[in-house]
Amino acid sequence: MPFQRTPYFKDKLFFESDFCSCVSTFKEFWGKGMGLFRKLFYKKPPDGLLEICERVHVFDCCFTIDAWEEENYKVHVNGIVNNLHGHFPDASFLVFNFREGESKSYMAELLSEYDMTIMDYPCQYEGCPLIAMEVLHHFLRSCESWLSLDQNNLLLMHCERGGWPVLAFMLAALLIYRKQYSGEQKTLDMIYKQAPSERLQLLSSLNPVPSQLRYLQYVSRRNVAAAWPPLDRALTLDCVILRQIPNVDGEGGCRPVFRIYGQDPFLVADKVPKLLYSTPKRSKYVRYYKQKECALVKIDINCHVQGDIVVECINLSEKEREKMIFRVVFNSAFIRSNILMLNRDEIDVLWDAKDQFPKEFRAEVRCCV
């Protein structure tokens, strides 16, 4: 005899169905209600600021191409800050400033008369508009802590001349870290579109987006990893393998040499990146490779690395003139199976040089423990 539900189970089934339906309707109503609530009480930021997300604003002078005269810049920033205090009278402000150098920043001097905390961050890591993973983690945690501390706390982002590329990257990292946006490419594109497209090219000779996306992927892994960021791994960068040689010299070939920058793994307390390896220009390892003759090139390096690593591949002409072929930045803690596989869309190249690389081009950074 087939199993039959008792009336009790039927009633229970109907009750559960109705209950789930009510919960779903309530969630939808609550979401719409909260959205309407936020719109009703939303305060548009004062002129001179762009709101990237709730309680995170960027000074609009970061998006312009034209250089500001010092006096005009001072008047502009002071006007914004005065408007801010009038617009958000109960707010407290934390300012993140991206700049070059170690001395006190000009922005810090301007804001010294206001009740604002300012934190300076570097605007590059060995020439690439990124910051080291440890510093990035500190930035993200500081932002999260400040915004969680009080609903009246606001974040202000600013970059000094040349700092726009790293500011864009940091904003994208913050949005992904706080799960306000998903998709590394989409998030970074959204930020870069806030400024004229040529601004990035004026400030960076190489397209930094591939390496920036790699670090944004590291940030995304926070949502699935038990411990983030993972501990640094000391590795030996054994060799780099190039498949399908790029046509760098216009004659179907190149003479690649490599430079490796990063933290010295034998000086753990010293976080300053250094030149760890450079191919001797007059060594037997410097050879000219032609596309028709070499489908694969293996270049031995044997360099100890740890943490954030910058690999530069440079073309060395017969007259010893240098031209960048590509650059890649990565963190050793995120290397899987001791190998980093890269296609031509995953390396930083000169803005007009992508066509020099065959579609089948691959670079393999091979490491060992």
Domain map of the chain by residue range? 49-223, 234-368
Strands 289-290 and 253-254: antiparallel
Neighbours of 353 (CB within 10 A): 18
Confidence of residue 1 (pLDDT cuts 50, 70, 90): very low
pLDDT at 144 over 70: yes
299 touches 239 (CB < 8 A): yes
More confident residue, 345 or 71: 345
pLDDT at 164 over 60: yes
Q: Which H helix or E strand runs over 240?
A: strand 234-243
Per-residue pLDDT tens digits for 348-358? 999 999 999 99
Domains 49-223 and 234-368 share a fold: no
Strands 153-159 and 56-59: parallel
Strands 322-331 and 289-290: unpaired
Contacting residues for 145 by C-beta, under 8 A, at least 6 apart: none
223 touches 179 (CB < 8 A): yes
Q: What is the pLDDT of residue 28?
A: 55
Please, what is the end-to-end C-alpha distance for the chain in angstroms?
66
Dihedral sign, Cα of residue 349, residue 352, residue 354, residue 357: negative
How far apart are alpha carbons 46 and 61 in whole angstroms?
A: 14
Instruction: Give the CATH number of domain 234-368; options: 3.40.50.1860, 3.40.50.300, 2.60.40.1110, 3.40.640.10.
Output: 2.60.40.1110
Catalytic hit among 123, 143, 159, 313: 159
Per-residue pLDDT tens digits for 245-288? 999 999 999 999 999 999 999 887 888 999 999 998 877 778 99
294: annotated active-site residue: no
pLDDT at 32 over 90: no
Per-residue pLDDT tens digits for 36-57? 444 444 557 678 899 998 899 9
Q: What is the pTM of this model?
A: 0.86
Alpha-helix runs per DSSP H in the chain? 7-40, 70-87, 106-110, 133-149, 164-177, 184-192, 197-203, 209-220
Strand partners, 258: 313
Q: What is the mean pLDDT of the chain?
A: 85
- Range in 85-89, 205-209, 307-311 the model is least confident about: 85-89
CA distances (Å), origin 35, targets 51, 52, 152, 190, 323? 17, 17, 19, 22, 53
290 touches 344 (CB < 8 A): no
How far apart are alpha carbons 312 and 303 in whole angstroms?
A: 14
Chain length of the chain: 369
Per-residue pLDDT tens digits for 169-208? 999 999 999 999 989 999 999 999 998 888 899 999 999 9
Which residues in 208-241 are b (16+ Cβ under 10 Å) and which e? Answer: bbbbbbbbbebbbeeeeeeeebeebbebbbbbbb
Lookup result for tokens 């065959």: 358
244 touches 291 (CB < 8 A): yes
Q: What is the pLDDT of residue 4?
A: 39
Query: Class of the 49-223 domain?
Result: alpha beta
